[in-house]
Chains A and B, each alone.
Chain A
Amino acid sequence: MMRPRSLRAIMTIYVIVFLVALVAVRIVSHRIDSDALRRQVDRRLASEASAISGGGGISRKEMIERIEAAQNNHDTADLFYMLVDKSGQRIAGELRLKRLPQPGYSDFGDDAEVEGVAHGRALARPVGGGDTLVVVSDNDVIEDFDRMLLRVQLVGLGITALIVIGGAIGIMMVIGGRMRAMQRTVDAVMEGDLRSRVPLDGSRSEFDQQAAAFNRMLDRIDELMANIKHAAKDVTHELKSPLARLRARLAAIARRSEGEPIGADIADVLEQTDQIIDLFGSLLRLWEIEGGHRRERFADVEMSDLVRDVGQALLHVSEDDAHPLQLDILDGLSVRGDPNLLRQMLVNLVENAIRHTPADTRILVSVERRGHSVAVSVADDGPGIPADQNNKVIRRFGRLEAEGKPAGQGLGLTLVDAIARLHDGTLVLEDAGPGLRAVVVLPLLR
């Protein structure tokens, strides 16, 4: 079956169904009212007929007297009586009928030509001795009332229909208007205006909230696009120089005369190539993290266990490198996260401290609670970095030039920062006086 999809189709169906139901209910209720009225008339006719005939067993004369009494009674002024014999001859009553009605109840209209009555209800009842008693009720008042009721109902129905149709059109216009506003924004974005946003009216209505959510999505897309643009630029820049060096190296090898040993040069070229491949690996990793897909695999991670594991893994290497490593761990602090990434984050931080400080620099890794957060910090008592350089080292490819130290990819702290942000946390570099302290603050679980 076809399902209505457009707003107009849904609203039209709604209005039609509503009106049909309304009319049906009105018709049924009108029927019930008329039937009730008619039954009441019938009961009255029956009771009057019985009052006159006395349920049989009384004389014609007495019936004539009763008819005359009833005709003079004010309470029964809307009733007309007639008593006829078996030849159809009227014996008593003021009622004149062209034709005697069938025994039982019947309706009649103008065509019956009853004097003084346009519409009525008749009850003809045999009363013994071949005589028939006819009692007629004048229904003109009831008919009038019924007609008035119908008119009132029709007017009510019309007003209700107008309200419903008007409401439906109003809703359609409001929703349609909002959707068109969104459509215009989408069109603008598609045409390249990434700054275009859906206008908000500040009402905090559902529409406004939806529009705000839509705008947030556009903000995020804009941010990602900007990131990609910057990343592409940075990468191009970062790759140009190693590739140029590599090319120069290869050109030098090509110039060598035959027979000259080139083994060392080849090893060098291979190492440079590996560095470029590693750089790509790190970038892919960074983009994977920034993409946010890893969130789907988040689990509860006990930070103290994780830090102890990493400390264990790096214990030998830090000792061998004359960077004594110390752990100060508060137990029982968990976060929601990706254990692999959190491990990489910690390894990166500790390795940074090992690689970028002179020998005999001590490293302290600590886990502590700060309000509703877990703070994992890696501090060294080395020379530290100038405070105004903190942001630079976190930035992609941001490096501090230092004599005799490994250059690195300039992505270590960028990766740490990206992992922290993926976990709704932050990376802050502080002066450890002396030395540098890198603190990652992550939201505490529960």
Chain B
Amino acid sequence: MRLLVVEDDPRAAKQLVADLEELGHETMVAADGRAAIAAVTEGKFEAVLLDVMLPYVDGVGVAKLLRERDIDVPIIMLTALADLDQRLTGLDAGADDYLIKPAAPAEIDARLRAIVRRAARSGDSGIMRVGDIEVNEIKYRATRADRQLVLPKLEFQVLCELVRNANSIVTRQMFYQNVWKYDFEPATNIIESYIRHLRLHLNNPGETDPIVTVRGVGYMITDKR
């Protein structure tokens, strides 16, 4: 992906760029709000990683300005504090997602893929497919190889989150944020337990398990096994 990293601390920017390039992204750095607006207005970026604390125009201001100019490039805000107000102002200003610094490269990568996918998909019918699995989010229905799956609500939502991001990783944080609506991370293995139960419901004997565990990061559903 072609990314714009907006970060005023050169050391943090350098590390972020190195991490992102290692993950195969092409990056450019803007060191302040004004430079970021200019870069986005001129260049073609698939997504913007936007620090909140910036000189001249802060991250919230940048997001607001870009949205006012009808530039709908996906934006992920990076905030230093787990401050609810800051998160909400960021999202209100037009950011698509937020992450608390320091964010792991794998987490950033997963979020990027999720929001770019979300931006590309429009006119949603609620039906999503991966391999022989089909979920209808609106009608609360899931099938595997045309076999009806009877799933409790949370398991269904976990499956939807996986299928929505098929072939890319859904991190633990993403699960908590999007399925459980928690803005904190529980100490127990809630997700592991749910994935285990989901696998029991999803996989008949002899069927391959489409859910891949990515150790220390999250899970991925794939049709490439």
**Chain A interface (Cβ < 8 Å from any Cβ of B):** 277-278, 281, 284-285, 288, 293-294, 297, 312-314, 316-317, 319-321, 340, 343-344, 347-348, 351, 354-355, 408, 412
A347/B82 contact (C-beta < 8 A), A314-B188, A316-B190, A355-B187 known: no
**A320 contact from B100, B183, B185, B193, Cβ within 8 A:** B193
Closest chain B CB from A37 CB (angstroms): 77
Given A340-B84, A351-B186; 12 other pairs, CB 8 A cutoff: A288-B81, A288-B83, A293-B84, A312-B152, A314-B188, A316-B194, A317-B189, A317-B190, A320-B196, A344-B182, A344-B183, A354-B188
- Cα A313 to Cα B184 with chains together (Å): 14
A376: shortest Cβ distance to chain B, in Å?
17
Cβ-defined partner of A285 (8 Å) among B82, B152, B194 = B82
Contact with A along B47-91 (1 / 0, CB 8 A): 000000000000000000000000000000000011111000000
Q: Is the CB of B81 within 8 A of A321?
A: no
Q: Tell me the B89-134 residues at the A interface (CB within 8 Å).
A: 100, 102
From residue A366, how far is it (CB to closest CB) to chain B in Å?
20
How far is it, in angstroms, between the C-alpha of A351 and the C-alpha of B189 when the chains are bound?
10
24 contacts between A and B (CB under 8 A): A281-B100, A288-B83, A288-B84, A312-B153, A313-B180, A316-B194, A317-B189, A317-B190, A317-B192, A320-B189, A320-B193, A320-B196, A321-B188, A340-B84, A340-B181, A340-B183, A344-B184, A348-B187, A351-B186, A351-B187, A351-B188, A355-B188, A408-B187, A412-B187
Measured between alpha carbons, how far is A348 from B187 in the docked complex, in Å? 8
B82 to A284, Cβ gap below 8 A? yes
CA distance A285 to B82 in the complex (A): 7
What's the least CB distance linking B159 to chain A, in Å? 15
Rounded to whole Å, the gap between the CB of B73 and the closest CB of chain A is: 29
Residue of A285, A313, A354 contacting most chain B CB atoms (<10 Å): A313
Q: Are B84 and A294 in contact (CB under 8 A)?
A: yes
Residue from A278, A347, A412 whose CB has the most chain B CB atoms within 10 Å: A347
- Could you tell me how many residues of chain B have their Cβ less than 8 Å away from some Cβ of chain A? 26
Nearest neighbor of A406 in chain B, beta-carbon distance: B187
For residue A339, give the distance in angstroms from its CB to the closest CB of chain B: 9
- CB <8 Å contact, B190 and A313: yes
Q: Tell me how far the C-beta of B218 lies from the nearest C-beta in chain A, rounded to whole angstroms.
A: 15
Interface of A is mostly: helix
Interface centre among A284, A313, A316 (most CB of B within 10 A): A316
Closest 7 CB pairs of A and B: A316-B193, A317-B193, A317-B188, A344-B184, A351-B188, A351-B187, A320-B193
Minimum CB distance partner of A315 in chain B:
B193
Contact across chains for B188 and A288 when beta carbons are under 8 A apart? no
Asked whether A312 lies within 8 Å of B154 as measured between CB atoms, the reply is: yes
Instruction: Report the Cα distance A293→B84, complex, angstroms.
Output: 9
B197 interface residue, CB < 8 Å from A?
Answer: yes
In the bound complex, CA of A297 to CA of B87 (Å): 13
Residues of A near B154 (CB, < 8 A) are: 312-313
In-complex Cβ contact of A281 among B82, B152, B188 (8 A): B82
Chain A positions within 8 Å of B180 at CB level:
313
B143 CB to closest chain A CB (Å) equals 23
Question: Which residue on chain B has the smallest CB distance to residue A293?
Answer: B85
A341 to chain B, nearest CB (A): 9
Bound together, the chains give a CA A278 to CA B192 distance in angstroms of 19
- Shortest CB-to-CB span from A374 to chain B, Å, is 21
For B196, list chain A residues within 8 Å (CB).
316, 320
Q: How far is the CA of A347 from the CA of B176 in the complex (A)?
A: 12
* Alpha-carbon separation in the docked complex, A106 to B81 (Å): 93
Give the residues in chain B near A319, CB-CB below 8 Å.
193
